[in-house]
Copies of this chain bind each other. A is one copy, B any other.
């Protein structure tokens, strides 16, 4: 192996927004942004197979090891996402001498505006950014957008910027070509459709993905990266040898872990990938977990057979279910099973597709997202209206045409008006009610169309004398109508409190109405752990 002159570059990732750029020489990086070490090393042999590279980063009291990767043409990189401001140092390690024992230091500044860090599980069933800001996932899916023409990608980013969506599901490997143009790039060296040198990655392919991830990061969208799928069988990426699968995972995790908006989704419809066993998926999870020093969220999305989300490497359940969020009582059932957040990433899509997974009305899509929210879960949007140009959001991104996104934005605002994540308060009695007990509630009537609702709250967290306001919410017309006056609690029976004057809320007899119930007076109540049925 030829020894080469070594130089070391330390610079920040190029952000599209010029205002966020820092001088390359500054040796300064923002918390939860990433530092990128660039080293020159051997390009003979096969660096993808032969060169190990990592670095240990420390701020004195903590050490974090990050894996490096070969970026082609003799360039090696190590990326690091610091999670604390202060002075940090690093030292590289490699089995190749020009890459090893390189040392340096840098300064980490506090996170700037709009930078809340990576998303974590929060309050058992929910999510928050690392800085503590609650994150309510309102996701959508554009499976193949990373592999479509640049113009479509730009349109996708612009659409997302103006949408409520803050999470995007996408495939790392391209979909099958179908009737569209083939992707411009492929993840391995070789020739399409399937003549690949699986021992050599195509760095350009991954650089393109990284650029898109930074664009998403810039607009506050989490990137739910789907690592395997079965939709591109012509390319053969679902039938690679196990050692290639594993190397691919180590490579992409080394490249992308430092992006704070990355989530790892092992697969879409994992059980439809007939070439793999359940033990393969277990192994993938463990490889991803081992290679990612930041512990980004990890999930696996099912077809018809649900993975065992109790396994310790699963951070949240990513569910496809075509019926679960038709009704909030169904939607909440999985929470008790896994004691983890449940995200219904696929619940059928809004659209006019002839297949029944793709022809929900906007009304029904909106209804399903509400059902999920008042179940204490989250629901992913998708859209597949047939378009003359075949630019269908679900697959390619581009533009949205449906009627649900505006309503989802409205729901998101309602949810954000509350004090934090909501859970079902009395799950075996009223599956249409969720809230923060004694503080804030959403009641969603779904397909029911009542003419009135007697003010009543379950006992958890409430007490006599508490005072509440009620807003009537039309989830489709997107109106919020305050009910005049307030509601003052007194105990009704063992389980419930009602307004002391027996007040009733008049409702318009329409479906898809909701209530927002907010405490505005009285003392906070207590939430006990007792058997709620006693």
Q: Contact at A354–B494, with CB atoms within 8 Å?
A: yes
Q: Is the CB of B356 within 8 A of A305?
A: no
In the bound complex, CA of A354 to CA of B306 (Å)? 39
Q: Would you call B339 and A304 a contact (CB within 8 A)?
A: no
Tell me the minimal C-beta distance from A191 to chain B in angstroms: 30
A531 at interface (Cβ–Cβ under 8 A)?
yes
A355 touching B306 in the complex, CB below 8 Å, given contacts A333-B334, A337-B334, A428-B322: no
| Residues of chain B with a CB closer than 8 A to A326's CB | 329
Q: Decide if B323 touches A531 in the complex (CB within 8 Å).
A: no
A321 contacts across to B, CB distance below 8 A = 333, 428
For window 273-324 of A, CB contacts with B under 8 Å fall at 302-306, 308, 310, 321-324
A212 contacts B by Cβ under 8 Å: no
Closest residue of chain B to A323 (Cβ to Cβ) is: B428
The verdict on A222 contacting chain B, using a C-beta distance below 8 Å, is no
A531 CB contacts on chain B under 8 angstroms: 269, 272, 303-304
- Flag whether A532 is at the interface (Cβ < 8 A): yes
Q: How many monomers of this protein are in the complex?
A: 2
* Chain B residues near A356 (CB-CB < 8 A): 429, 494-495, 533
**Closest residue on chain B to residue A303 by CB atoms:** B531
Question: A427 CA to B321 CA in the complex, in Å?
Answer: 9
Residues on B with beta carbons closer than 8 Å to the beta carbon of A205: none
B contact residues around A303 at 8 Å (CB)? 531
Chain B residues in 8 Å Cβ range of A357: 533
Decide yes or no whether A336 CB sits under 8 A from chain B: yes
A306 to B330, CA, bound (A): 16
Do B533 and A306 have beta carbons less than 8 Å apart?
no
A431 proximal to B (CB < 8 A): yes
CA distance A304 to B310 in the complex (A): 17
Which B residue sits closest to A430, measured CB to CB?
A: B323
Complex-state Cα separation, A334 to B302, whole angstroms: 14
Expressed in whole angstroms, the minimum distance between the Cβ of A222 and any Cβ of chain B is 26
Q: In the complex, A156 Cα to B221 Cα: how many Å?
A: 63
Q: How many residues of A contact B (CB 8 A)?
A: 37
CB of A534 closer than 8 Å to a CB of B: yes
State whether the Cβ of A350 lies closer than 8 Å to any Cβ in chain B.
no
Q: How far apart sit A329 and B305, CA to CA, in the bound complex (Å)?
A: 16
Chain A 342-359, CB-CB to B under 8 Å as 1, else 0, gives 000000100000111100
Q: Does A327 contact B (CB under 8 A)?
A: yes
Chain B neighbourhood of A334, CB < 8 A? 333, 337
Identify the closest chain B residue to A357 (Cβ): B533
Chain B proximity of A209: nearest CB distance (Å): 27
Q: Which residues of A (387-429) have their CB < 8 Å from a CB of B?
A: 427-429
Q: Given A310-B308, A356-B495, are A333 and B339 neighbors across the interface (CB < 8 Å)?
A: no
Q: Is the CB of A333 within 8 A of B336?
A: no
How far does the alpha carbon of A220 sit from the alpha carbon of B467 in the complex, in Å?
57
The smallest C-beta distance from A473 to any residue of chain B, in angstroms, reads 24
Shortest CB distance A357–B (Å): 5
**Could you tell me the distance between the alpha carbons of A494 and B302 in the complex, rounded to whole angstroms?**
23
Q: Which residues of B contact A327 (CB under 8 A)?
A: 327, 329-330
Chain B residues near A330: list those with CB within 8 A.
327, 329-330, 333
Question: What is the CA–CA distance of A153 and B324 in the complex, to the nearest angstrom?
Answer: 43
Q: List, in ascending order, chain B residues with CB within 8 A of A269's CB.
A: 531
- Evaluate contact between A323 and B429: CB separation under 8 angstroms: yes
CA distance A339 to B307 in the complex (A): 10
Please give, as numbers and ranges, the residues of chain B lying within 8 Å of A494 by CB-CB distance: 354-356
What chain B residues lie within 8 Å of A339 (beta carbons)?
Answer: 305
Q: Are B533 and A431 interface neighbours, CB within 8 A?
A: no
Scan residues 502-518 of chain A and give those whose CB is less than 8 A from a CB of chain B.
Answer: none
- Between A and B, 8 residue pairs with Cβ closer than 8 Å are A269-B531, A302-B336, A322-B428, A323-B427, A324-B333, A327-B327, A356-B533, A357-B533
Assuming A323-B431, A326-B329, what are 14 further A-B pairs, CB within 8 angstroms?
A272-B531, A303-B531, A304-B531, A305-B339, A308-B310, A321-B428, A323-B329, A323-B428, A323-B429, A324-B333, A330-B330, A337-B337, A355-B494, A356-B495
**Residues on A close to B: CB < 8 A?**
269, 272, 302-306, 308, 310, 321-324, 326-327, 329-330, 333-334, 336-337, 339, 348, 354-357, 427-429, 431, 494-495, 531-534
